[in-house]
């Protein structure tokens, strides 16, 4: 079972509670730090695999583009190699009735992980965290010292991909605020929706871990002050409906995905042209200290008359 969603969306808390409710975690976790004092609950090996794949293809977890979905992002040989690497990792994990894996980068690389999991003999299911975008934006911006605009774009990208990549799979959407307020109800929802065995035998440990102060950012109003606020609001509202067991409006998400993809692709092309142009010899070596005297010489050659006056 994969726990998916944007970074800072409550995936760590959900993963830990699931591990205390009957799920098994891989060994070798990323430990707690100031950014997440109760632990990330994500395997270091999974991080290393994903970082290697992303780096090899000139992208990263903080890339708001959808370049990983481009037709030429991975050729058949590269795709097979990535799936094989993930499969090798999964097959070496201890066997358990329910294995829970959370690593935010998996959201953008889900097709590779899902295929590898199937080849390794696992049945794939997903828990998708839903958190108010303003809370996520504030948390990401504060944790990594990045702009609210980038944080918002990442929330939108990861939310859209988590939903899109899990279509046709057993899945459940979980509202983080609801999870913190009433974890027993949400654990029961997860178990019922995915038809898996979860229990509350370690209730005391869960209560000690899942305290209200885990939700350090709180926001219940509308999305404001961000580019793409309408898109973000629609996606959040749609996922919240799914997290409350209402029908999911996939068509609305498809429209926003296509708009986002078209917009970012055009901007990406523009920035690529800028980078290519800036690397040309004319612009690399013709510095202002050289260009200005040259222009004056040309003006002098025209005797500073006419259009050169």
Please write the tens of the pLDDT for every residue from 59-110. Answer: 899 999 988 887 777 889 999 999 999 999 999 998 999 999 999 999 999 9
Distance set, CA 169 to CA 18, 69, 102, 165, 271 (Å): 19, 19, 17, 9, 36
Q: What integer pLDDT is reported at residue 179 of this predicted model?
A: 95
List the one residue out of 224, 222, 206 whose CA is nearest residue 214. Answer: 206
Pick the CATH number of 2-302 from 3.30.70, 1.20.1260, 3.40.50, 3.10.450: 3.40.50
The residue ranking higher by pLDDT, 177 or 282, is 177
Q: What is the pLDDT of residues 162-186, one digit of tens each?
A: 999 999 999 999 999 999 999 999 9
Question: Per-residue pLDDT averaged across 22-40, rounded?
Answer: 90
Residue 254 has pLDDT above 70, yes or no: yes
Compute the distance between CA of residue 218 and CA of residue 94 in angstroms, rounded to an integer.
38
Q: What is the pLDDT of residue 44?
A: 96
> Is 138:226 a contact under the CB 8 Å cutoff?
no
Q: Domain residue spans in the chain?
A: 2-302
Which two structure tokens, joined as six digits, stand for 216? 């350090």
């Amino acid at each position: 079972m994969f726990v998916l969603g944007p970074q800072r969306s409550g995936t760590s808390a959900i993963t830990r509670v699931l591990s205390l409710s009957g799920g098994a975690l891989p060994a070798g976790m990323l430990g707690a730090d100031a950014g997440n004092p109760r632990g990330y609950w994500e395997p270091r090996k999974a991080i290393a695999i994903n970082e290697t794949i992303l780096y090899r293809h000139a992208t990263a977890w903080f890339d708001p583009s959808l370049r990983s979905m481009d037709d030429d992002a991975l050729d058949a040989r590269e795709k097979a190699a990535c799936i094989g690497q993930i499969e090798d990792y999964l097959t070496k994990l201890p066997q358990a009735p329910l294995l829970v894996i959370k690593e935010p980068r998996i959201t953008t690389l889900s097709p590779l992980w899902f295929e590898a999991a199937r080849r390794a003999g696992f049945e794939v299911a997903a828990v998708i965290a839903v958190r108010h975008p303003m809370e996520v934006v504030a948390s990401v911006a504060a944790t990594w010292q990045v702009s609210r605009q980038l944080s918002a774009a990442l929330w939108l990208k990861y939310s859209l991909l988590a939903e899109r990549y899990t279509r046709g799979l057993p899945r459940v959407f979980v509202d983080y605020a609801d999870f913190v307020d009433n974890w027993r109800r949400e654990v029961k929802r997860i178990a019922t929706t995915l038809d898996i065995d979860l229990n509350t035998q370690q209730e005391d440990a869960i209560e000690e871990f899942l305290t209200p102060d885990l939700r350090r950012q709180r926001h219940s109003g509308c999305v404001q002050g961000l580019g793409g606020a309408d898109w973000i609001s629609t996606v959040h509202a749609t996922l919240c409906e799914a997290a409350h067991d209402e029908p999911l409006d996939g068509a609305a998400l498809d429209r926003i995905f296509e708009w986002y993809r078209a917009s970012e692709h055009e901007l990406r092309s523009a920035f690529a042209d800028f980078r290519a142009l800036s690397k040309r010899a004319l612009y690399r070596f013709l510095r202002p200290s050289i260009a200005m005297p040259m222009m004056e010489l040309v003006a002098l050659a025209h005797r500073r008359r006419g259009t050169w006056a």
